Structure 1
Amino acid sequence: MSNSRRKFIRQTSAAVLGAGLTTMLPLDAIAQIRRRVSANDKINLGLIGCKGMGWSNMNALLTNIP
């Protein structure tokens, strides 16, 4: 699979343009897109690379869940 300079420039400029457009959106528009979260919603939590202090933190969290 060969990549040409033109293809690289096209893909890079599209990525930069997409990243720039997200900063141009007003925060109100982004907030309206998000789903409302209530106090009774279930929270999913994931832990990756759990060793040492991470393991201790996870155990402390699990023991303090009401």
Structure 2
Amino acid sequence: MIAKEVQPVLVALPRGGVELVEARHHNPTDEPPLFFVHYWAVGDAVSPAKAIRRAVDTTDVVPMPGGAA
């Protein structure tokens, strides 16, 4: 994700019970800088999946045609 998307994602994940492990960027020369999030969740698969989806929905990611809705 890009810098402006980091904070909303970091807020959305814990609200859904997903624990943030790490947030960082790998290559400081990327333009725009790209950030990566490592996370952890325990429980059924549906609850973390919904939380991750809500976090992704806070970004400007455009779903691929024919992908999961």
Q: What is the TM-score normalised by the length of structure 1?
A: 0.27
Return the structure number with greater relative CO, CA threshold 8 A, min gap 6: 2
Q: What is the TM-score normalised by the length of structure 2?
A: 0.26
More strand by share: 2
Whose radius of gyration is greater, 1 or 2?
A: 1
